Structure 1
Amino acid sequence: MPSASHPRCVAAATPRRPPVSRGVAAWPALAVAAALALSGCATYAPSPLGRGEGAASVAQLVAPTADMPMPTLATHRLDPTDGLDVTEVAMLTLANSPALKLKRDALGVASAQAFAAGLLPDPQLSLGEDFPRHSGGGLTTAYSLGLSEDITALLTRSSRRAVARSQAAQVNLDLLWAEWQSVAQARLLFDQVLSLRAQQNLLDTEQAALAPVGQYIDAALRAGNLTYDSASAGLNAGADVHKRLADNAIALHQADSDLHVLLGLAPTAPLDLVGVPYQIAPTPAQLQQALIDLPARRPDLLALQAGYQSQEAKLRAAVRAQFPALTIGFNTARDTSAVYSNGFNIGITLPLFDRNRGNIAIEQATRQQLRDDYAARLLGTRSDMQRLLADLDTLQRQRTALIAHVAQLDDARRAAEQAWQRNLLDWPTYLAIRGNALSADLDLLAVQQQQATQAIALQALLGNTDLVVAHPAPAEVSTP
């Protein structure tokens, strides 16, 4: 904050004309000059808009471990040169996500509002001068000088500060919750990109494997040894794989684009992902303890508690504001006959009609709404947790069954391929076996991704607690 010695401040504090008379009559100008000299002057600096291009490469991104809100991230070594694993993606998301930057800007606004709420109200200085229209003996310039303060603003200052502090705490906790959700989103996108890439490789391999069958069918059609009715199964098999490839590519483009945006990367920046998706395996005891500690740990619930405390302070302030508004001031004056006088003034609002009853009713209703919102959030969390646990149990059983089914169909596919190459198996049967094996492979990948999604959602629901044991899930689909 610049001092009053700043050139612009000095110019503003300089009176434009000298006082009319000496002595006490010079007090008004001196008081104004002193008030302006004591006040600081803010300066303006332009801040041009950016171009929003994003980082050109992962190497340009930074993620200080000291700023990580979770111990599991703060202790992980970041090294983008060998590719990004799921934890490194989460770290870079926290440090570079554009959405989180907006949340941090909102925290800056809330902090500024808390600072403003703690400032004392400025006193009101009034100054007036009267000039005689006729000159004569004993006549002089009259003046009045007054200083007043809003007492009501002083009485409600503590409530305003409590409201602002609670609001700043709520914004800070909302930011922390947004960071936790961003970590979950980073893990989900990491898993989606890896899963879609695996499906893409699987479909590319299948398309290459079907190429000789397609060539055989085309040659048979040209030679007249096969009709289009009988060749429809073969033609549809190739078309189906081609369509799946296109659909999968579009989904991969979307997931890859979302991950680039989350990391603050330019759309064309290369993104090398390594490792395996994030998985968790919490024990029943860990889940029970996490659920007990939930209201004291999860940021969104803590933010609701801070919002409720803020509303309590608003209600107290509204109750205090029902009392008459009071303003007290003191003044000194001199009339044109050079008679000096000192006095005071008191302003009070008569509480006849309003008495702030409307605002009190609004704050009471808002408090009840926040109370019910908090209870509903807790109940919803408990219900969601039970649902996710049931889903994970179902998906695990389905995954176990699919692993065995995929292994059997994989053996059948290899045997069928060898038999077809030796002309021991007709191509419709061969295509049917390959189609069944491909569907089972894709189903297993889908179940694995769905299981990872539900597990990450469960951990986010429980507040990313360190009590949850995390371990990677190995890839289980073999290349056909």
Structure 2
Amino acid sequence: MIGLPRGESRVGSGAVPLILTLTACLVCGCADYRSRPLDQDELVGQLAVPAPGSLAEAASRLRHPRLRPVSLDFSKPLTDEALGILAVLVSPELKAFRAKEAVAEAQVFNAGLLPDPKLFGRFDWVFSGPAGLVSPYTATLQWDLAKLATRSTDLHIAEEHARQVRLDVAWQEWLVANQARLLARRCAYLARQEAVAAEAAQISAQLLELSRHNLALGDATLAELGIREAAFLDAKDRSLALARQIAKARQDLNRLLGFPPAQRLVIADVEAKPPAGLDPERLFVSARRQRLDLQALEAGYASQEASVYRAILGQYPAFTLGINDYHYYSDYNTGGPTVSLDLPLFNRNRGAIAIAEATREQLYREYLGRLNQTRADIGTLVTDLDRIAQEREPLARELPELIRAERLLREAAAVGDATLVNYETVRANYLDKRLKLLALEQAAAEQAVALQLAVGSASIL
């Protein structure tokens, strides 16, 4: 520690007023305490959905390293990109996370402050003793110079930590935005599947009524009626299951946005073209350059590097400087500078150095682990997208023929030129293939968002 040494200085007749004056000035410059209790009305206001106008303005002025400003128009269905920006603006978790930025900036401010000097005073009354004794005064002015010697290093540590926090906040915003986009795409594709399943349930209901009519006329058997009833129940169950999935996805989206459960957003339809020709190694190189969480870890490592250097500085002897003025019992004065020096015989800050170096090694391993996880995630997502494309291609080729066959057999069955059994077989095959294709398109759309998230950029091609 570098500082000003302790001494005892005379506090003469003019010293006491000087000390009182300095104390009054210092007190006047102090910050005031302001209480902030948990106000229930304020909390209710914070939980309310913000006004559309304020959200639209905030979305148009958004500043983010990876997210672009958008135009929010609540009179129209919201795209997945618009919902992503909306999530960044209103997510309660992000609002709490952003408060860390203020703490980090306050730490930078604190690290840059100069140390305050310390003033010590003492006054003794003489109650007995030889004649002629006067009451002695002593005062000490101290200034810790160790803070000055390490100020630039402490400031560098705080600045790198603040940069890490800012990047962490930006990364969390990126995660929330893409999670909202993924949920929006899930809702859109599930709605398509639910519409197909509802149509199938309606056709099954019509076939069931037709079978009951034919049974009454003696043109159908109970076995055929049982088949129609089972087909109708299966189609109805599938439609209801998809409706439940849509409801859950919407609830997840409302929870992410911090909206009430009953809030219903109108989501625009999505036409997402699955990416093709992806190179995992090239995407990994791009991720190392663009992922905000990796940049945050790099800033944290730089901060810890400075912390190691700060710990190394702490092993050197610390000294204190001071100015002394003594007023003795016999009414004479002495004074002068003093120096105190720490002797690094036992501690030598070895414990702090060991902790700082071990923490640096831990951060290094965490960074390597994040790189490895990033590379693995990108490879897995690219492989999944390739497999989805391989499954989707033959289905996309077969579906037009199945659509035509289903329409022709439905028309033939309506006039009695085809049996319901034949039509049911073709219809079930067509329904399965159509729903499977929609499910694959949903998976591809969601995986594309996940890949953009993993790479750290909306542009992955």
TM-score, normalised via structure 2 length: 0.86
SS of equivalent to 1:64:
helix
Q: Is the 8 A contact 1:86 1:278 kept in 2?
A: no
Q: Which moved more, 1:237-246 or 1:426-435?
A: 426-435
> For residue 53 of structure 1, what is the aligned residue in structure 2?
47
Residues in 2 aligned to 1:347 and 1:143: alpha-carbon distance in whole angstroms: 22
Aligned counterpart for 1:363 among listed residues 334, 356, 368: 356
Decide whether the 8 Å contact of 2:138 with 2:325 is kept in 1. yes
Partner of 1:73: 68
Q: 2:81 aligns with which of 74, 79, 87?
A: 87
Q: Could you tell me which of 117, 126, 139 is aligned with 2:120?
A: 126
Within the candidate set 31, 36, 54, 2:27 is matched to: 36
1:310 aligns with 2:300: no
| 1:139 shift after superposition | 3.8
Aligned with 1:166 (options 160, 171, 179): 160
In the TM superposition, residue 322 of structure 1 has moved relative to its aligned partner by: 1.8
Q: Which residue of the partner structure matches residue 151 of structure 1?
A: 145
1:29-67 Cα offsets, whole Å, 9 max, x none, are 334334334x33234153635125341775563333332
| CA 1:131–1:70: 2 relative to 1, 3 Å | closer
SS in 1 for 2:300: helix
Paired residue secondary structure (2:75): helix
Q: Which residue of 1 aligns with 2:8?
A: none
Q: CA offset at residue 92 of structure 1?
A: 1.9
Bigger drift between 239-248 and 377-386 goes to 377-386
Q: Are the equivalent residues in 2 in contact too, given 1:86–1:277 (CA < 8 A)?
A: no
SS of aligned partner of 2:121: strand
- Counterpart residue number, 1:329: 322
> Structure 1 residues 450, 321: closer, same or farther in 2, change over 3 A?
same
Specify the SS of the correspondent of 1:80: coil
Measured against aligned partners, the alpha-carbon deviations of 1:80-110 in whole angstroms (never above 9, x if no partner) come to 3222122222222222222222222111111
Would the aligned equivalents of 2:283 and 2:455 in 1 still touch at CA under 8 Å?
Answer: yes
Say whether the 8 Å CA contact 1:311–1:367 is kept in structure 2: yes
After TM superposition, list the pairs within 5 Å mapping 1:157-306 onto structure 2. Answer: 157-217=151-211, 231-279=225-273, 281=275, 291-306=284-299
SS at the partner of 1:391? helix
Q: Distance in 2 between matches of 1:72 and 1:318?
A: 39
The answer for the alignment partner of 1:409 in structure 2 is 402
* Runs of 5+ consecutive residues of structure 1 not aligned to the other structure: 1-19, 470-480
Return the match for 1:109 from 96, 103, 107: 103
276-285 or 352-361, which deviates more: 276-285
> Which structure 2 residue ranges, 5 or more long, are not aligned?
1-10
CA deviations on 1:339-369 (whole Å, 9 max, x unpaired) are 3332444444432332222221222122122
2:324–2:335 Cα contact (<8 Å) kept: yes
What amino acid is the match of 2:107?
Answer: Q
Per-residue CA deviation, residues 166-190 of structure 1 (Å, 9 max, x unaligned), is 1110111112222222232122111
TM-fit CA distance, 1:302: 1.0
Matched to 1:205, the amino acid is: E
| Structure 1 counterpart of 2:292, one-letter code | P
Matched, 1:397 2:420: no
Does structure 1 conserve the Cα–Cα contact (< 8 Å) formed by 2:284 and 2:374?
no
Deviation at 1:270, TM superposition (A): 3.1
Cα distance in structure 1, aligned partners of 2:285 and 2:351: 39
Partner SS state of residue 319, structure 1: helix
Instruction: Report the counterpart of residue 449 of structure 1 in structure 2.
Output: 442
SS at match of 2:392: helix
Alpha-carbon distance in structure 1 between the residues aligned to 2:72 and 2:344: 65
Greater RCO, 1 or 2 (C-alpha within 8 Å, sep 6+)? 2
Contact 1:97/1:263 (<8 A) preserved: yes
Distance 1:59 1:245 in 2: 37
1:460–1:283 Cα change, 3 Å:
same
Distance 2:12 2:363 in 1: 62
Q: Pick which of 148-157 and 299-308 moved more.
A: 148-157
Secondary structure at the counterpart of residue 140 of structure 2? strand
> What is the identity, as a one-letter code, of the residue corresponding to 1:36?
V
Aligned amino acid, residue 454 of structure 2? L
* Greater Cα shift, 97-106 or 444-453: 97-106
Give CA-to-partner distance per residue, 1:390-439, whole Å, 9 cap, x none. 32222122212111222222223222322322233443443333222221
- The amino acid that maps onto 2:170 is L
Q: Which whole-Å deviations, capped at 9, do the CAs of 1:108-147 have from their partners, x for residues lacking one?
A: 1111112112212222221221122249853443222111
> Which range is displaced more, 414-423 or 157-166?
414-423
Going from structure 1 to structure 2, the CA distance change for 1:110 and 1:278 (only over 3 Å counts) comes to farther
Instruction: Measure how far apart 1:228 and its partner are.
Output: 6.4
1:23 aligns with 2:17: no
1:355 match: secondary structure: coil
Is the CA contact (8 Å cut-off) linking 1:318 and 1:363 kept in structure 2?
yes
Alignment partner, residue 3 of structure 2 = none
Bigger shift: residues 276-285 or 303-312:
276-285
Cross-structure match for 2:345? 352
Further displaced range: 65-74 or 234-243 = 65-74
**Structure 1 contact 217–231 (Cα < 8 Å) conserved:** yes
Deviations 1:268-316 (A, max 9, x none): 333112242444646668x776544443332111111111101101111
| Alpha-carbon spacing, 1:291–1:205, altered in 2? closer, same or farther (3 Å) | same
Q: Does 1:339 align with 2:329?
A: no
Instruction: Provide the secondary structure at the position in 1 that maps to 2:391.
Output: helix
Aligned partners of 1:174 and 1:300 also within 8 Å: yes
